[in-house]
Structure 1
């Protein structure tokens, strides 16, 4: 009975450690997610920088899996090559060891202070950044509390005959130790928690050093299993190259270390007197050695992965280009026509996003918001493919009119993608905020928003037609649509300040949200007009360089 209670208590401590890790990860992603993603995107241009940034981002996120998912998204969409993506994963593996090194010191005394600071920041609703940082501090405090509780429980039961008999039975088979640790790490989704537990067992003398190292190797292997399992759902084998490559690297490294296990155990015991510290240092050195071994081999290793997992085109994939014929690049006029046809697909995807936003506002469907935001990835992929295709055309074969058409296609594609970003990053989060806070627009206000969204969709269709016809009359009509949104925003702003002056705080909240949504729509409308109307008007000399009146006019 006592052993059952101990196991439940240990499982609860591990669960608290995992929850604290989850809070740190989500808090950092909410506070700095775009910046971390941007840092990864810049780092992927250089292999060595990719290793360093991968380690840093993982140390901040407290999860190599989270880093891997971001990089996998880059690689799957074709934005980066496989070699720098694999370099990031080598760095991410090192980053997890930095977390273990930090938590291996006796820092449990800081746990209450971290939770207190986190709670104060978390309750500051006025600042989303402080709110998210509060979540990070609370998570760190919970992690330290969980570690302290685990150490206390192990100290109490370290001499329990049942525990020693169980560990003694498996300690004689290193391969079984490795597989057991890999399964546990896969189950709890955290190599950090498993390695810290192994450190505690080694420090108390419950397991010998050979078993501790075998468990550590299994933890390194198990943390690479989850991304592979999640990637199985992908229809394209190429999307699984990165997680499979990371798993192969760790499997090879674990296999080599397992063959040298007795020598490694004696070396660790000779150099470092503290068994717990020896486990933490081995964890770090193992991943450093793995990075040093595979870093110069990433190029041939990526070729092997491409051979094992060849790309498969999915005709149903909306992000797959349909009209960018590579053979047509020899005939630029034909290539421009295909690129223009592909650019029209951007308008179709953007219209689908606007319709999704309309349904989210009118029906309050959270699921619809998530599905609509995923369409932005389709826009990004198509826009990237169009730009790469157009820049591959030999410009010496283009005449003046062809150059003008090429730049018009680029402008249209970029503005469609930027309009999609506004929907994804501004308009939809505001709709989600409305649902989260339980705010309800007045019937008049909601009707105005829906009418403007319908007008945006109509303007988008007009822009797509204008992009093909380049008719000056249609361009002037579309450009005049900016006035409608400017007037709607002015009226809404006056109404908002009137409610504030009247002291109607409940109505002021909804009117502020109403005003934010109007500004988002106005910005989307500006991108739609800039995509199709402005190039035509500028070519005909009908576009003024500035709205500011000349002196004396």
Structure 2
């Protein structure tokens, strides 16, 4: 019983070490790695190599596949290019298994020591995450050693030998078992290394080992397929293509399994090493066979999984993929794209509110209310989605991005409330009273709307592409907008003194409208503050002294003149 407990603990340590390496690498260098991956898919060869390298770094072909699925769903890359990346990812996973099989016992404690030293010596996020990855590598090697030592007494147990004998001979059952174990462990690398340890300790025969390795490869393709269930069809095409590749390759290899021990003995006499060679050759042959067919297979997956009809309901999220929550960097990107949809809704609401206020277009009031409901729903969906993201696995940059998305959605939700509850209420009162703004007042409100829409678009562009100059420009637009609001309020009061009837009838409405537009503009311009704050360009109270000096100097100068006159 104690021996089995030690075995289960060693396997769990192997899986946990794989997780630590993956999260450590992604936290430390996830942003540049994803950017590099996105830029390297223009050619099948570079896409294949990028997938190989990415998986070699993060120790998870499943994570790479889900990442590419999210990119395809967001329209960032084509399906056939993502397939080439996934084929490279499978080869990369097999090469990592080869590297872990090297019996260099002193590497494990050295990596753990280096990892702890990096984690404790330097408090920077990158150093701590690099230390986490090093500790994970050391734990994986230590777990493999523990599995090997634990399996020695187990391999001679009559009961265990009888259990393994019942598996031998039924190829489909053997493959199904390995595929199931891969699904449960969520890591084909861990299962393949476990199979290698079992064969090396003579707990199972090489023939059974080959069947289990084949099943582990099939399970590695089934894992992202199941993980992507419930998402859009575009996101499921890459896992489906990978499953087609693996299933086809398994069917082609199955008739030759009996000959593998003899053939692979030409490469290596060690049965454990033969498992690794078979794993590598299987994935390499699959890549060579299918990399030229990524185009036709992509078209096949598009027929099997056609594009879903886009929902006309603005309240329905489109990019919040729940299956990439375990890949926080991708999840943050999905949330950012969904946040831009709220910005698009706000843009439409502002354009409609301009027509309602200036032209008494009552038929547009209801659509504005519906869009505001969509803004509220998307805001809640994005907030709930981001709360599920493990921020500890995010880099400093991505953590800031997470906070920026929350800030953007909060400001946009406030803008939606102002348009719906304030501007539309004022518009209803104006329409019910059959009132009209003066020609000059209408033109002023129209100009403020136009400026506001331009500022919103600048702010959303700033959200996607942070830039200090554009952030300064947005704050300058805020100052101009505030000056215009004061000027137009004075113009309105001047029209009142001239007893212009439209201005008299709509006085309160007019002033409330321009006040609410200024409030909306303040929420839009708030997008500039984090960028300028990070650049060290904001004072503590965010007030520029030069803007206050004329207002302070003016009264002081007047007082000096009055004192001089009194003397």
Interval containing the TM-score (normalised by the shorter chain): 0.5 to 0.7
CA deviation vs aligned residue, 1:450-483 (integer Å, no higher than 9, x gap) = xxxxx99x969x89x99xxxxxxx9xx99x989x
CA deviation vs aligned residue, 1:294-336 (integer Å, no higher than 9, x gap) = 011111111111111111024144458xxxxxxxxxxxxxxxx
Match of 1:242 in 2: 238
**Cα distance in structure 2, aligned partners of 1:71 and 1:410:** 34
CA deviation vs aligned residue, 1:246-291 (integer Å, no higher than 9, x gap) = 1111111112111221122321234421111111111001000000
Match of 2:81 in 1: 84
**Cα distance in structure 2, aligned partners of 1:145 and 1:369:** 27
Change (3 A) 1:69 1:367: closer
| 1:413 Cα offset (Å) | 4.9
Match of 2:289 in 1: 293
Match of 1:104 in 2: 101
Report if the CA contact (8 A) 1:114-1:141 is conserved. Answer: yes
Change (3 A) 1:241 1:174: same
1:251 aligns with 2:254: no
| 1:485 Cα offset (Å) | 8.5
1:117 aligns with 2:114: yes
1:218 aligns with 2:221: no
3-state SS of paired residue (2:156): coil
1:419 aligns with 2:433: no
**Cα distance in structure 1, aligned partners of 2:304 and 2:268:** 42
Which ranges in structure 1 are unaligned for 5 or more consecutive residues?
A: 321-339, 380-407, 424-454, 467-473, 490-515, 525-553
3-state SS of paired residue (2:106): helix
**Cα distance in structure 2, aligned partners of 1:215 and 1:92:** 20
Question: More displaced, 101-110 or 4-13?
Answer: 4-13
**Cα distance in structure 2, aligned partners of 1:311 and 1:187:** 31
Change (3 A) 1:345 1:232: farther
Tell which has more relative contact order, 1 or 2 (C-alpha 8 A, sep 6+): 2
CA deviation vs aligned residue, 1:142-197 (integer Å, no higher than 9, x gap) = 11111110010112222111111111111111211111100011111111111111
Report if the CA contact (8 A) 1:100-1:195 is conserved. Answer: yes
3-state SS of paired residue (1:205): coil
Q: How many equivalent residue pairs?
A: 398
Change (3 A) 1:369 1:66: closer
Match of 1:325 in 2: none
**Cα distance in structure 1, aligned partners of 2:201 and 2:237:** 41
3-state SS of paired residue (2:240): helix
What TM-score do you get using the length of structure 2 for normalisation? 0.61
Report if the CA contact (8 A) 2:192-2:213 is conserved. Answer: yes
1:5 aligns with 2:5: no
**Cα distance in structure 2, aligned partners of 1:159 and 1:522:** 68
Report if the CA contact (8 A) 1:343-1:409 is conserved. Answer: no
Match of 2:301 in 1: 305
Match of 2:347 in 1: 344
Which ranges in structure 2 are unaligned for 5 or more consecutive residues?
A: 320-342, 351-370, 392-398, 409-451, 468-473, 486-513, 539-567
Task: Choose the corresponding residue for 1:46, options 38, 43, 46.
Answer: 43
Report if the CA contact (8 A) 1:485-1:522 is conserved. Answer: no
| 1:366 Cα offset (Å) | 5.2
Report if the CA contact (8 A) 1:353-1:373 is conserved. Answer: no
**Cα distance in structure 2, aligned partners of 1:107 and 1:209:** 23
**Cα distance in structure 2, aligned partners of 1:244 and 1:275:** 33
**Cα distance in structure 1, aligned partners of 2:7 and 2:288:** 36
1:14 aligns with 2:11: yes
**Cα distance in structure 1, aligned partners of 2:379 and 2:198:** 57
Change (3 A) 1:520 1:368: farther
What TM-score do you get using the length of structure 1 for normalisation? 0.63
Match of 1:502 in 2: none
